[in-house]
Amino acid sequence: MKGAIEKISINGFKSIRELKELELRDLNIIVGANGSGKSNFVQLFQLLMAMTRKGMQKFILENGGADNFLHNGPKNTSAITVECEFESHSEHRAGTNFYRFELSPTVGETFLVSEERKDATTNWCSYGSPSLESGLYDERNEKSAVNNFNGIGHFVYESIAHWMVYHFHDSSSTAPMRRSEIVEDNNLLRSNGSNIAPFLLRLKNEELFHSYYQEIVNAVQLVIPFFDDFRLDVLKMGETEKVKLSWGQKGSDFPMQPYHLSDGSIRFICLATALLQPFPPSTIVIDEPELGLHPEAIRILGELVLDAAKRTQIIIATQSPLLLDQFSIEDIIVANRKGGQSTFERLHHEDFNEWLNTYSVGELWTKNVIQGGTSYE
């Protein structure tokens, strides 16, 4: 996949003391017990996204300050280092591209960031002096020639800036996905689903995207049999036009509202939209998408994930045996807690040949043959 991350190395980030060249493929299902480090791995992607928006310091402070990100605190870890390897299939930048950064804590509960990049044929080159914000954002318009370091910087920016970490856990009565949003906020689906209604309205109204809209409707109907179609009525509020997630029920012309949807139903609508959208992010990351879903909905979710992985890179963290049953053993990365740190290991089919003749992947997880149970330290 163009812009997909192929390998990642992490040192000193939260529970991840040392992780060397973890291979990431088109489909990556991370499974592990509570506290194994799955969410920390996901949060690293959120940090990288914030760096492309010059929002690193805000992200660090909102999540507890620099000390909270260092493995076992500043007395044990002096800096965080991360190295990403990307594969480019662009005619303008073929081969492998690398990006590395180091975060060094300051006295003000923040970090200084030092950054380097290279392609497969050159030595590491610095972005410049350490600074309070990443230099990735400054590379967004630098479309220089192959082997020019600014060109590599632009490629890395484009790859990371088009990631998306979706988090649809908040489906309460006041959740953003249940509220109205301005019609114009329809360019991309936001991480919390707050603009789900205008995004769907755009897909519904634009001929180029209508087939994708219909696929989303079809998927929702499989999980919510009485669901007919989205209404997505536009309301005039002064000079502003807003839309919310109104919908129709089969056999009725009464307009149903977002509060008529159960938590699981509205989460599934957001998940189906994220996975079936016509212009997906270069990497989609979702933490525990199975929450609140009926077993049949989890099976359908697995099918949507498999289909989406043909078009973009997918990283999912889960604990669900039912969701694991939808995937191959080679898709699974096991997160474990060992010796006070998180480890991540991709599974191989040959290690489970005999077991798979009798049991599914989810059953192997439940029986702890895939060893990722609770660790007592």
Give the pLDDT of the chain (377 residues) as one tens digit per residue.
Answer: 667 899 999 999 999 999 999 999 999 999 999 999 999 999 999 999 999 999 999 999 999 999 999 999 999 999 999 999 997 655 555 568 899 999 999 988 899 999 999 888 888 999 889 999 999 988 887 654 444 445 677 888 888 988 999 999 999 999 999 999 999 999 999 999 999 999 999 999 999 999 999 999 999 999 999 999 999 999 998 889 999 999 999 999 898 999 899 999 999 999 999 999 999 999 999 999 999 999 999 999 999 999 999 999 999 999 999 999 999 999 999 999 988 999 999 999 999 999 999 999 999 999 999 986 555 45
Q: What's the CA gap between 187 and 193, in Å, rounded?
A: 13
Q: Quick check: 196 and 177 in contact, CB under 8 A?
A: yes
Q: Quick check: 341 and 71 in contact, CB under 8 A?
A: yes
Q: How far is CA 302 from the centre of its chain?
A: 16
pLDDT at site 3: 74
Pair of tokens at residue 345: 């290991």
Phi/psi at 218 (nearest 5 deg)? Answer: -60, -40
- 117-136 as b/e: b if 16+ CB within 10 A: bbbeeeeeeebeeeeebbbb
pLDDT at site 148: 45
Q: Quick check: 287 and 320 in contact, CB under 8 A?
A: no
Pair of tokens at residue 169: 């856990």
Instruction: Lay out the sheet containing 181-182: strands in order across.
Output: 181-182, 240-243, 234-237
pLDDT at site 172: 94
pLDDT at site 377: 52
pLDDT at site 204: 97
Q: Any idea how long the chain is?
A: 377
Question: In angstroms, what CA-CA distances link 229 with 233, 249, 250, 292?
Answer: 12, 7, 8, 22
Pairing state between β 163-166 and 234-237: unpaired
Q: What's the CA gap between 102 and 11, in Å, rounded?
A: 9
Q: In the structure, how many helices (H) and strands (E) does the chain have?
A: 10, 17
